Chains A and B, each alone.
Chain A
């Protein structure tokens, strides 16, 4: 069965600091990888996704993530965070079985950006 690990549960950064949130997955087959963001009081929104091709994926709001297959990792990065990036970030793995899609989420990382 697939699983997703997010190593940092709560991260506090000052504005303009660089961000890297770790995500590792466990699955033997082909996976597609996503990062979702949940701003306070709002629903899950897609930040970026990796299906194939260039392992460095650029998403919205200056976020990017790098898929490293050998490390089973898909870490999220942003060079300079803003107060508005305060949110919870979820890494997710999508696997396919019989044509059906299954999403497995990590536990989430709460990011707090201090002005």
Chain B
């Protein structure tokens, strides 16, 4: 069964550094999402992406965050200057073109900012 993959599984970085989290969505999917889960808290929506542009973003997704689909397969989340409070598990999800399609989640990248 096709699945969403994410790399790396764990990223440790110093505060102020840039990080790029990578996701490979399911190949025929059209909608892409990033979520994050701070330890002990709920999963929070960050951004959705469709047709090479952001379709919706939450208040968490400020100017420090950006997303890109640099080629036909990868979907990346960049944090320009990481803060301690960016430490979280980041999940990528993708879904097909029908509005009722389910979102499929990747395994997550645990980001630790020191």
* Chain A interface residues toward B at CB < 8 A: 32, 34, 36, 42-46, 49, 51, 90, 96-97, 99-108
Contacts and interface: CB of A to CB of B under 8 A. Distances in A.
B90 to A, nearest CB: 11
Interface residues of B, number: 24
A79 to B, nearest CB: 25
Interface of A is mostly: strand
Interface in B40-79: 41-45, 48, 50, 55-56
Given A43-B107, A104-B45, 8 more contacts: A34-B102, A43-B108, A44-B43, A44-B105, A45-B105, A100-B31, A103-B33, A107-B41
Given A49-B102, A101-B103, A107 B48 contact: no
B102 A90 contact: no
A46 B48 contact: no
Contacts, number: 50
Contacts of B44: 105
B66 to A, nearest CB: 19
A44 B43 CA distance: 10
A46 B101 CA distance: 12
